[in-house]
Every structure is written in C-alpha cells, then in structure tokens.
Structure 1
Amino acid sequence: MCGITGIFAFNQIGAFYMINLGKSIELLAHRGPDGRGTFVEELIALGHRRLSVIDTINGRQPMHDSTDRYVLTFNGEIFNYKILREQLIQEAGYTFTTDSDTEVLLNAYIHWGEACLLKLNGFFAFAIYDKQKHEIFVARDRMGVKPLLYYKDEDKFIFASEMKAVLAYNVPKEIDWVSVQQYFTLGYIPEPDSIFKDVKKLEAGSYLLINKAGVISKKYYEIPSSTQTKHQHSFEQAAAHVKELVDASVKDRLVADVPVGAFLSGGLDSSIVVASASKHVENLHTFSVGFKGADFYDETKSAELVAKTFNTSHTTFSLSQTELADNILPCLESMSEPFGDTSSLPLFVLSKKVAPSMKVILSGDGADELFGGYNKHRAEWLIKNPNWQIRFAQLIQPVVKILPGNRNTPMGDKIRQAQKLIEGLTLTDAERYYRWCSVFSEEAHKEMFQENIADNEEYKIRKGGILHAFKKNPYDLNRILYTDLNLVLGSDMLHKVDSMSMANGLEVREPMIDYRLVEYVSTLPSSYKINKNGGKQVLKHAYKDELPAEILSKAKHGFDVPLTKIFSKELKAWILDELLSQKFIEQQHVFKWSYIKNIRNAIDKNSNLDESKIWPLITFQFWWKKFMN
C-alpha cells in the first residue's frame, strides 16, 4: 500500500502549481516509507510513496508501460493479479518485466480500458496518464477501501491519497458548513463531500476521466440491494456458501512477499478471520490491545482464547492510561480532516505497536455492516417484531429518560441503549436509522452552532440522499444494511482503518468486504442475518464448528477507549486552555460559548461526560487550529 499524488494542468497557469509536487509527496511519506518516485512533463506531474509488499524490488512507481505512452501511480493491492497476468499473456501476448501487481494493473487498463475495473479483485486508488491523448484516468475500488481526494478548477486537476497532500498545492480552504453539520451529527463527513467546499472524495466504485474537454465521472459499481436477484439457498446452504466465500477471501488476502499477520480483538469477526488464515499460515502472528484498569473496555481474554485455539503467535499490548494519553497528540496530528470515531485512538496505538514487526495485517472490519452486527440492527428487529422487551421499555420509559446514559460503564451503556430504543419507537424508519447513526442530535445544532451555521437547507438535501433507500417499498431490514454499506462502511470504518494504520506505515486488509461476499450476502433474506437471537446469524452458523462457544455467544463490543479516564491534569488543561478557551471560541465563530461552557464544566469536573461527544469536539478543534489558523 502506498500514497499517491498528482496534478494535471489545463494551461500554464495550472502548470505553475506543479512546483508543489515534492511537498505533496513528502506529506505522504508515512504511507510509503520504502521509496519515492516522480514523473513530470510539461502539464502533468505524478508522485508516489511506496510501501513495498509485492515484488519488493521491481515494483517502483510511477510505472511506465513498454511503449512509454502510459504512466501509472497506484495505491493498493490487486489480489488476482496472477490470474489477470496470465489472461493478458494468453489473450494479447503481453510480456512482463516484473512480478508486480502494478505492471498487471497498467497493462489491464491498456488492454481492457475502463472495463478492467470489474476484473480487479482488490483495493485501490490509482491514476493513469495517457501521453498520446493527454488525459488522465483516476479510479477507486468497489468498496472504497483506499481513499482518493481531488480538487478541480479551470486551470488544473489535483488528486492525492490524503487531504493534507491536496492542500500542499495551495488550493482554497473554504469551509463547507454543511459538512461541519454532518460531522457534528454523525461523527464523520460522508463521501463525496469533505470539510472543504472545493475538495471532494472520489466515491467507492467510481472513476474520473479528465482532459481538456472536461471531466467524465462515472459510478462503475453499485452494491446490490436486497430487491435485486435473490439466492434460492436455504439457511444451511447459505451458511456453507458464506464460509466458502470468507475462506476464499482470506486466502486471497494472504498474497504478499512479506509476512501477513492479523488483528485479533476477541470478537466474532476477527476470530473468524484468524480461524481461516491459520489454515494457510503456520504460526500466524496475531495482535490485540487491552487497557489497564478498564475491564469494561478490555477483550484480551477472549482474544487469547482464540489465539490458543488456533495456535497463533499472539501478542497482547496492555496499554496504560499514560500511554494512551501520550498518543492523543500523535493521533490527532495524523488527521487531515476532522474525524470523531473514538476507536481511532486505540487503532492508532495498535498500528503503531504492530508496524515495526509487520507490514500487512488482516482485520474483521465490514462484517457488522454486512451481516447486521450492530446494536441498532438488533433494536430495529425488536421494533419491527413487537415483544416483551419493547413493552417493558415502554413501561419504564419515564424512568429511563431521566437516568444518566453513557458509554463509560456497563450500566451506563445499557441505559444509553435503552434511551435510544425508546426514542426510536416514535420515529419513522428513515429518521430512526439516522438518529441511531448519530452521535449528536440534530436538535443540538441550535444549541451548539452560531445562527449562520445551524439552519441550512443543503444539510436536509444531503441527508435525503443518504436515506434514499428508505423511500422504497416494501420495508426490509436489508435496507438498513444496504445504507450502512454505502454510508458507515466507507465514510467511517474504512476511513478510520486506512488513516490510522497508514499513519504508521501499516497495510490493513479486510476479507469481510470482498465484493463476491458482499454481493452474495446483500441479497440474502434479512432473517438469515438478524432474528430474535441477534445479528450475524448466518455467519455464526457458518463457523459454529470452528470457534469456541464463548466467542459465538459473546455480545457485540465496540473498539472503544476509556477516554475520560486518561484525562490527566495536564491534558485537561491543554483541552480547556487551548481548544476550548473562550478567546478561541469567540475568534473561531463556529460554536456558541454557552454550549462550550457546559462542555468545559463537564470536563473540568469529570462529570456527566459522554466520550462519544467529547472526542469529535477535540478532534475538530485541534484540526481547526492546525489547518485554519
């Protein structure tokens, strides 16, 4: 995996900005510590930082084809490159000078054009420049594992793997206030928008073709919805096929010229990945993280059970409060766009710990969105299938509403979940979904923001676009999973994994979102995934004979961190004096001081703190000071 950047100028004014290529490349150095490459001609400049995983000696970039007409800069991995290589040799007589997937990708585009995208099994973001036509083709993988941001005006087109590498070209930094509202609702900014009005994210399964005539934008891949072709498999048959697909996906993602390990949280998804990978890798290296003095957040015992079951070489990193606190600033420094998911901190630390010994890691990310593993999925099933739990929730509603719900303790978390369930009973399907995806309520915007930000019609339009699947009839729980795959997976989960791992030069591969698995599971009946016993039913059944019973019956546990427990006196002072001071808030003119004052008091007294709301505010304020001051 790597970092890519480039500028395609339409005229000499645009060409002037090519002098910033070197700066942009260096801002991606963490993504590719193994090498640096450039290609520069009159109106085009491409840059690359390399993390060498396949053909570590010969896969240098930007790469030219044998005729020197095409030039490629590529971030990602193509898992079926050997199959495609053989097809190109047999069908068209191509010859290859390296054993890299990079050369296969370049020749695949030359031979098949844009149609090559549907032949690729992997994750990628790449740009190919055609010297003869003077045009550039930019594409992103089906699921959106690898990021690509871009900026375009009348003089130039700019792209890069990260926001800071785009900003290196001195593009305008005009805040998109609708994105700010979305961020302070969901905790992240949904694609294709970004924190800046003129910088966009290329959507998953999309490509751009840019030349002097303009820009052609196309969505070449859509995740199938449950209303499309359904498989006529029984539950047992579906479970067997799911297992075949997961095992094949894991095997594909073991392709590398360097050792491949696995994150092992102790939850169902990572345990399945480890169970499958251990069949192909002797003495598989697995890694988990725990938190000293915070049992509610610690899953290391489950991880160690799985490691013992599959005889892996397991390492547990037990983090102290001091070590977590010491990594807050490096974690924040790695973000070039506000990102409010609290699990970014432990993932950053885990990646930092693993990177010195591994270059490639497998993870279980994506299974919750695909198979229905979140609490909101279970809650939705309960609401649509009235039962004693719903009746009991309605009965105790007056009491639950006034209790302090939070993520900090087992009881506080149960209260928080009950409050969300009760609130959802009165909402429409679409509004309930959006509320359950949200960290902040939309009602809080008027208390939080200055008047010029809080009320925006464009926010409602974007929200409607996110919820478009709910307009279709009849209602089905698969609609929620479809929306999760198109919203939460890419904009939250995959963004987090890529940014936190690549900040430390670590490549993470997600077998659970192989497009073949996603296509099959997406069209299975929702009852195969979620029922009265909870979510991921077909996935659990598929691995019931391999995993310990404790793992199969284990409740869902998010990858959270005891955030407020690590707020030392010095850290609190920094947050209050630097990020949330009255002087800064009034200069910034984003938030109402009355709202921030209440947050300050809660932090200062360590009372009534909701960590899921504190972290997004901290990350936003730190980002603002770094990029906007």
Structure 2
Amino acid sequence: MCGISGIYAFTQEGRDVIQRLPDSTDALQLRGPDSGGHFTHGSVGLGHRRLSIIDVSDVACQPMVDETARYTIVFNGEIFNYQELKKQLLDKGYTFFSQSDTEVLLKYYMEEGPSFLKKLNGFFAFAIYDKEEETLFVARDRMGVKPLLMFQDEDKLVFASEMKSLLAFGIPRKLDYVSLYEYLQLNYIPAPASIFKGVKKLMPGHYFMVGKKGKVEIKRWYKIPYDEKKAKKNDLSYEAQQKKLVDLMDGAVQRRMIADVPLGAFLSGGIDSSVIVALASRHTQQLNTFSIGYKDEPFFDETKYAKLVAEKYKTNHTVFSLTNNDLYEHLFRAIDYIDEPFADSSALAVNILSHYTRQKVTVALSGDGADELFAGYNKHMAEYKVRQGGFLAETVTALLPLWEMMPKSRNSSFGNRIRQFQRFAEGMNLSAKDRYWRWASFATENDAKSLLSGKAKRILSKDVYKKRRQKILSHLSQKGDINEVLYTDMQLVLPNDMLTKVDLMSMANSLEVRTPFLDYKVVNFAFSLPQSSKIDGGMKKKIVQDAFRGMLPPELYKRPKHGFEVPLLKWFQNELRPMIMDDLLSDAFIEEQGVFNLKEIQRLKAQLFSSNPGDIHARIWALVVFQHWWKKWMA
C-alpha cells in the first residue's frame, strides 16, 4: 500500500512543472512512510511513497525499473495472485531480482500489455512508463478500492493518489458548483467529478494511455457482469449457492493474508467482519483482532458480540474502549487529512480504529462491501417492501403527516424508527430513480439548493447536474428488482463513500486495509444470484447469514444492526459551538465567502441550538467539513 504521483508534459511549460514532482510525492508521506523515490525521463516524471508490505527489502523500492531500463512502474496496492502469475512468467523465461508483486506486475505488462489487467486479483492504482514508445499507462482496480485523480490541460497531464498531491503540481483551484451541490445532498462527491473543475477521478475498472503526441485515451477494462434475466434463472440450488459463497470467500480471505508484516482483522461484532475472522482463523494459528467500544454510547457498543467471535476462534483480541472525549480528540486530525469535502461522520470512527490498530499491525482485513453486494442496508429492505407493496407499506405511507410531526433521532431505537418511517413514506410516492437518490441523500435537492448563495445558484449548471445524476441512476427501472439497486450502489455508494472513507482514514494512519468481500470472483458470483437469495420480507443479506450460520455464535443473529453514530449533536451544542458560531459558520465568514445563503445558514444554526434539532446535525457536519476544507485549501 503506497501513494503515487506523476506527470506527462506536452509542452515546455509542462516540462517546467516536473520540478514540482518531489513536492507532490512528499504530500503522500502518510500513505507511504517507509521510503520514497522519483523517476524522470524527458517529458515524464513518476513519484512514489512506500508502505512496505510484501518484500520489505530495498530492492523492492519504487519507482522500479526493469533490467532493460525500458519500463518503469509506480504502484499503489497489492496483487494477491502475484505468486501464481510469477510462476507463469518464470515458465516463459523471465527472471526476477525481487520477491515483490510490483515486479510481477511490471513484467506481466511487458509480456501482454493492457490485456493483462483481467488476470490481476487485487486492488491497485499504478502507472507504467515505456521509455522506447514514450507512452504512459495508468490503471485503476475493478471496484475502486484504490483512488486515482487526474488533471489535464494543454501543457500536461498530472495524476496522483490524493488531491493534496495533485495540488502540489500547481493546478488551478476552481470550485465546481455542481460537485458542491451533489456534496450538499450526499455528503460526498461522486466520480468522475471532484470538487475542482478540471480534476477528474479515474473510474473503477478503467485505464488511460498517454502517447508522445499528447493523445489521452481512456478505456473501461472491467464491468460487473450483471444480467437480470440470467440472475433470475440461476440454476444452482440455494444450498449449492451457499457452499459456493463459502468456498469463494475462503479463497478471497486466504489470498489476502499474504504479507511480510504483522496482519490482523477488524471485528465489529456484526456478521460481515465475523465471517472474515472465522475464515481467516482457518489459515493462521492466532489471528489478531481489533474492536472499538464506546463507553459513553452503550446503544452503539457491540463489543460483547465481537468478544463472542474472538473467544470462539481464540483470536488475540484487543478492544479499544473509548469515550466521546477520545473521539473528539481525533476529530480535527481526521478532517484535516481530508483534501476534498467528505462528510460521512463514521470516518471519525474508522480513523480512530485505524490509529490504534496500526500500533499493533500494518495490515487489517475488513468486512466492507458485503452490504452493497448482498442487500444489507435498511434502505434495501425498504426498497424491497416498496416494490412488493401491500397493506403495511401503504399504511406507513398514509401516516406521513404523523411521522413529520414526531421527534426523530439516530441515537435511540424509537427516534430512529420514526425517522425511517418518514423516509419510507416519502420514498413510496417517488419513481425508482428519484427514490434511490432521495434515500442515498441527507438533504433534498431543494434543501441543498436553498443553502447556496444567489451567485452560486447562477453558476450552478442544471444541465450538467441532470446529466451526472441520470448517468448514476441509468440502471434503475420501475420493473427491476433489488439487484439493480445493488448494482447502482456498487457504482455510487461503495467507491465514493465506503471505500473512500476506509482509504482516507487508514492511509492517514499508514495502515493497509484489505476487503475479501470485494474479491472480483465474489462480486461476479454475487451478481449471478437472484434477488431471492439476498433478501426476503424477513431477512437482509440472506445468503451471507445462512451460509455462515454454522460458523458464528447464534447471538449474532438475535440482535438489530446498529452501526455507529458519532455524537455530533452533543459536540455541536457544546465543544464545537464556538467554532460554528464564531468561525466556520459565522455570519461574517459566510458573507465574505459568498458561497452560501446567509439566511439559510442562520436558520440551520437556530434549529441546531433549539430544543428540537431533529436530524439536522448531518447537514451541519457537511457544512463544517466543507468550511474547514475551504479555509485550508481555498482561502
């Protein structure tokens, strides 16, 4: 796991920018604290920061050049089947000077060119320069586990693992108001757009090639093989599907346990992380596992369930028992690392878990991805019930005026249920596309637009927004089933929210996180399954729960899924109140900045500090994160 950056210059002005490469690379130091290096040749520069995982010797450092000095690679990620690929190359007469997966990656490209991507099992973003042809090849993994941003103008193309590294090349910082509008709804910015005009995210499963004449060609090399008709006609029995899932997951976990440094696993006490621990325990005598406990938030504390799994599999288990004050102390460290507005507040918990886990291991396994693949979220059950219809769904919808009047909160069972009833009732009356967007959002389009100043509204391009939204929602229909919702989650929620969160917060702590559920063989299999294998009226993530039932403590099946809600409201009304009122959301700063509607900000602040703040804290958090980002990167 590392960080990469690079430049391909088209003009002399572009070549002058190559001198900024060391600054760009240094900006990635937390991603790769072990070593760093640079390569330049004519119009091309490549930079690398290394977090040593496989072959920790100096011979595996990057940028790595092959023996002929024709090809040079910088690589962020891991190739889990590299030993198998290496054997194939040895049989063809290749020799190796290291034990790293980086060298295997480089030489397989030398052997086959871009087509070799389909043979890779892993997560990655990498760049390979061919000195003879003067071409630059840059690729991103299938699911978008590893990030890659790029900017192109008439003088150059630059790319990097993080925005801060890209900005070190001196690119223009022009706010994209369509991206801001999306952010105010979703709390993150969907790819390929970014917060800056001109900066794009290379989409998952895509690569680009730059030629010496400056031509840039982007191609898609992987697409989830989802066919609704084939999924509905899957000829495997449900029992056979379960067995195949266990086998595929066991292989995915085993592949991800290859490391030359200490390895462990996150263990939340939920089904997904418990599955990973159960399978990983098959392949090591004593697995290190890590959980967070919340002393001040017993409603969200799930450590007793994690302990049951740890005891069953005799893991070396560590519980980091935290107070709200512990979380608060890490708050600014987390948001200070964010170089594009990102307001999923659970990132704070991931950050602190990564911080403490890194003190004991360098690699951690995680259960991320299972909810998007197998329908594990409450919104999936709600969508299922909407599409099924019936008396209960219609009754909840008819009572919308009642839900709107009642108090709502994520921090209690009753308040959270009322919140869910209201969202369900609102969604029931929408089309499939509008409902998906509404349930993916924290604010409606109108609420987000009301936050913008008159100037910002004038700049906002409605046509660009509509095109972006339509593309994201293009796979949804009125007559389809849950699989098309999950497919959309895999394009939107997973790479832009969940994986971005884990990458940012783990890399801020120099920790590599591996996600077995996102092994492409597991993903391909998941989308060959019919809806009935994933969800019914009584169970979400059905096949995962059933397939691993015999491996997990029964107590895990007898409890609601809570997740974790950072105590933002308490902080806003106490510790963070001066920062909100006198700094980031002060009237003077809002007026000077000219981005937001002062009256609407004042209204939100009044609601926040009232006796009935409701669910306003998620929207306030999005504003706080944006303003903190603005002061650091735009002021």
TM-score, normalised relative to structure 2: 0.96
Runs of 4+ in 1 over 6 A off after TM superposition: none
- Taking the aligned partners of 1:135 and 1:143, their CA distance within structure 2 comes to 25
Residue 302 of structure 1: CA displacement?
1.3
Q: State how 1:356-367 maps to structure 2 within 5 Å.
A: 356-367=359-370
Give 1:254's aligned residue: 257
How far off its partner does 1:178 sit? 0.6
* Larger deviation, residues 512-521 vs 317-326: 317-326
2:293 maps to a residue whose letter is G
Moved more, 555-564 or 121-130: 555-564
Structure 1 residues 229, 104: CA separation in 2 closer, same or farther (over 3 Å shift)? farther
Measured after TM superposition, the shift of residue 304 of structure 1 is 1.4
1:567 to partner: Cα distance: 4.2
1:602 Cα deviation after fit = 3.6
Corresponding residue number in structure 1 for 2:419: 416
Match of 1:95 in 2: 95
Q: Which whole-Å deviations, capped at 9, do the CAs of 1:329-377 have from their partners, x for residues lacking one? A: 1011110000011100111111111112110000000000000000010
1:555 and 2:560 are equivalent in the alignment: yes
Aligned to 1:333: 336
d(CA) in 2 for partners of 1:576, 1:326 = 20
Instruction: Tell me what 2:219 maps to.
Output: 218
8 Å Cα contact 1:405-1:415 kept in structure 2: yes
Residues matched between the structures, number: 627
- The corresponding residue for 2:188 is 188
Equivalence for 2:269: 266
Q: Which residue of 1 aligns with 2:133?
A: 133
Q: Which of 604, 615, 620 is 2:621 aligned to?
A: 615
How far 1:568 moved relative to its partner? 7.0
Partner of 2:123: 123
Aligned partners of 1:297 and 1:561 also within 8 Å: no
SS of the residue corresponding to residue 435 of structure 1 reads helix
- Deviation of 1:607 (Å): 4.3
How far 1:140 sits from its partner (Å)? 0.3
Asked if the contact 2:268–2:291 (Cα under 8 Å) also holds between the matched residues in 1, the reply is yes
TM normalised by structure 1 equals: 0.97
| One-letter amino acid matched to 2:634 | M
Give yes or no for contact 2:177–2:456 (8 Å, CA) kept in 1.
yes
Distance 1:122 1:128, change over 3 A: same
CA distance in structure 2 between the aligned counterparts of 1:228 and 1:392, rounded to whole angstroms? 32
User: Structure 1: which 5+ runs fail to align?
Assistant: none
Structure 2 segments unaligned to the other structure (5+ residues): none
CA distance in 2 between partners of 1:263 and 1:216 (Å) = 39
* Distance in structure 2 (CA, Å) of the matches to 1:8 and 1:446: 38
Equivalent-residue separation in structure 1 for 2:298 and 2:607 (angstroms): 23
Q: Is the 8 A contact 2:148 2:161 kept in 1?
A: yes
Instruction: Kindly indicate whether the alpha-carbon contact (under 8 Å) linking 2:398 and 2:425 is maintained by their aligned counterparts in 1.
Output: no
Task: Quote the offset at 1:605 in angstroms.
Answer: 4.6
Counterpart in 2 of 1:6?
A: 6
Q: Is the 1:324–1:566 contact (alpha carbons within 8 Å) kept by the matching residues of 2?
A: no
Residue 85 of structure 2 is matched in structure 1 by 84
CA displacement, residues 520-573 of structure 1 (integer Å, 9 cap, x when unaligned): 111210111010112111111110111111213432322332222344744221
Alignment of 1:218-237 (within 5 A): 218-227=219-228, 229-230=230-231, 231-237=234-240
The corresponding residue for 2:175 is: 175
Local SS of the residue matching 1:255: coil
Q: Deviations over 1:452-510 (max 9, x none)?
A: 43462211111111110025x74111110000011111011001100010011000000
Q: Aligned-pair distance for 1:431?
A: 0.8
Aligned residue type for 2:577: K
User: For 2:398 and 2:160, how far apart are their aligned partners in 1?
Assistant: 54
Q: What letter matches 1:470 in structure 2?
A: L
Q: Percent identity?
A: 47
**Matching residue of 1:467:** 473
d(CA) in 1 for partners of 2:229 and 2:516? 23
Q: Deviations along 1:249-293, whole A, 9 cap, x unmatched?
A: 011100111121011111110110111111112221111112222
Aligned to 1:575: 580
2:156 aligned residue: 156
Deviations 1:398-437 (A, max 9, x none): 3112112222222211111110111111111111111111
Partner of 2:197: 197
Give the stretch that moved more between structures: 113-122 or 403-412. Answer: 403-412
1:505 aligns with 2:510: yes
How far apart are the structure 2 equivalents of 1:145 and 1:67?
32
Whole-angstrom distance in 1 between the partners of 2:137 and 2:607: 50
Using the alignment, how far apart are the partners of 1:35 and 1:194 within structure 2? 29
Q: 1:445 Cα deviation (Å)? A: 2.5
Q: CA deviation at 1:174?
A: 0.9
Using the alignment, how far apart are the partners of 1:463 and 1:560 within structure 2? 28
2:274–2:552 Cα contact (<8 Å) kept = yes
1:381-460 matches, cutoff 5 A: 381-454=384-457, 456-460=462-466
Which residue is 1:245 aligned to? Answer: 248
- In 1, Cα distance between the equivalents of 2:388 and 2:229? 24
Aligned to 1:59: 60
Separation of aligned partners in 1, 2:502 and 2:393: 35
2:601 corresponds to: 596
CA contact (8 A) 1:226 1:479 kept: no
Mapping for residues 243-322 of structure 1, pairs under 5 Å: 243-322=246-325
Deviations 1:364-394 (A, max 9, x none): 0000000000001001111122345324413
> Are 2:75 and 1:70 aligned?
no
